[in-house]
């Protein structure tokens, strides 16, 4: 019923998790930022992918589910200061462009694949911390879960605010969202606004962020041919960012642990103590 296959496409070694009982699959490219670039249920692909960006390694992938670590969002001038020293870091951090190592696979309780990313001299140029991140992708009964463990292997506390950036296929940008959030910040004008159940992203260049959800889930229906999608995420994910790109058929619904530029504000940084770790989950069904 469940299987994990190692495949080769035109450029990368990839892995396919499959669930024959629900005609579902997850495709992962570990060396391309550990990205999930395809997820389908009942024979229907749910994710958008710009294949040109997927195969051009000097570009950020537009599509799939990019991993945001150690930060989500942007930094003012692409820099931040820590302990008196200034560091540069690209938008959304470096994990989405790093090569992840496959360290495990299983098909007993669903199909699963475990990836690892470890700090090195290159990561320390922009993020002076020692870490080990483990992601286990699990497909079971059509539900896709990303089990995460963020380990601080260093000798002092480590700041971070990871997130996810799923691109869902849809031509409609004016969608309703089921959430208990009541307020959002519109980054197009910087204003805080009342959330009444839907946001029309059609003509918005920048994202909006739901800032006060208490329940850690959100549901939406991207189009008439796809059933309602529900995202569930752990308590550490405080915000949900909504974004699209004009002329492209997707909307992004993104759980983040902090708002953009938090490494500069330092108001709600999640700190992992030395030799400690954080475990959490994110799922789509």
Which tens digits make up the pLDDT trace of 29-70?
999 999 999 999 999 999 999 999 999 988 999 999 999 999
pTM score, whole prediction:
0.97
| pLDDT at site 101 | 98
What is the mean predicted confidence (pLDDT) over 172-182?
97
* DSSP-derived secondary structure for the chain: -EEEEEEE-SSSEEEEEEEGGGTEEEEEETTTTTEEEEEEETTEE-B-B-HHHHH-TTS---BSB-EEBS-SS--GGGEEEETTEEEE--TTBSGGGSPPEEEEEE-SSSEEEEEEEE--HHHHTT----EEEEEEEEEETTEEEEEEEEEE-SSS-EEE--EE--EEE-S--EEEEE-S--EEEETTTTEEEE--SEEE-TT-SS-EEE----SSEEEE--STTS--EEEEE-TT--EEEEE--TTSSEEEEEEESS-TTHHHH-SS-EEEPTT-EEEEEEEE-
In percent, how much of the chain has pLDDT > 70?
100
User: Where is average pLDDT lowest: 55-59, 178-182, 276-280?
Assistant: 55-59
| pLDDT at site 223 | 86
What is the mean predicted confidence (pLDDT) over 169-190?
97
CATH architecture entry for 2-284: Distorted Sandwich (2.70)
What is the mean predicted confidence (pLDDT) over 4-14?
90
| pLDDT at site 225 | 81
Would you kindly state where each structural domain of the chain is located, as residue ranges? 2-284
What's the pLDDT tens digit per position in 211-262?
999 999 999 999 888 889 999 999 999 999 999 999 999 999 999 999 999 9
What's the pLDDT tens digit per position in 65-118?
999 999 999 999 999 999 999 999 999 999 999 999 999 999 998 999 999 999
Query: CA-CA distance, 260 to 72, in Å (whole number)?
Result: 6
Q: Is the pLDDT of residue 127 over 90?
A: yes
Q: Is the pLDDT of residue 8 over 90?
A: no
């Amino acid at each position: 019923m469940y299987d994990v296959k190692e495949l080769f496409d035109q450029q990368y070694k990839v892995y396919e998790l499959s669930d024959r009982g629900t005609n579902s699959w997850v495709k992962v490219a570990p060396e391309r930022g550990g990205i999930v670039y395809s997820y389908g249920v009942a024979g229907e692909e749910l994710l958008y992918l710009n294949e040109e960006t997927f195969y051009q390694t000097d570009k950020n992938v537009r599509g799939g589910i990019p991993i945001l670590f150690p930060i989500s969002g942007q930094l003012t001038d692409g820099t931040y200061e820590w302990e008196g020293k200034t560091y540069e870091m690209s938008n959304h951090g470096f994990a989405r462009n790093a090569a992840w190592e496959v360290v495990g696979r299983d098909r007993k309780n669903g199909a699963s694949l475990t990836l690892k990313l470890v700090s090195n001299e290159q990561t320390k140029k922009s993020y002076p911390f020692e870490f080990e991140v483990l992601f286990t992708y699990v497909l079971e009964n059509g539900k896709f879960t990303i089990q995460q463990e963020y380990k601080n292997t260093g000798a002092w506390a480590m700041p971070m605010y990871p997130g996810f950036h799923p691109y869902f296929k849809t031509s409609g940008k004016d969608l309703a969202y089921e959430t208990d959030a009541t307020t959002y910040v519109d980054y197009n004008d910087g204003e805080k606004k009342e959330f009444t159940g839907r946001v029309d992203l059609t003509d918005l260049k920048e994202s909006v962020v739901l800032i006060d959800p208490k329940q850690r889930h959100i549901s939406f229906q991207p189009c008439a041919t796809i059933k309602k999608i529900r995202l569930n995420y752990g308590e550490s994910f405080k915000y949900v960012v909504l974004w699209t790109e004009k002329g492209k058929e997707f909307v992004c619904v993104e759980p983040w642990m902090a708002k953009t530029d938090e490494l500069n504000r330092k108001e709600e940084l999640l700190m992992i103590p030395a030799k400690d770790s954080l475990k959490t989950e994110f799922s789509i069904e």
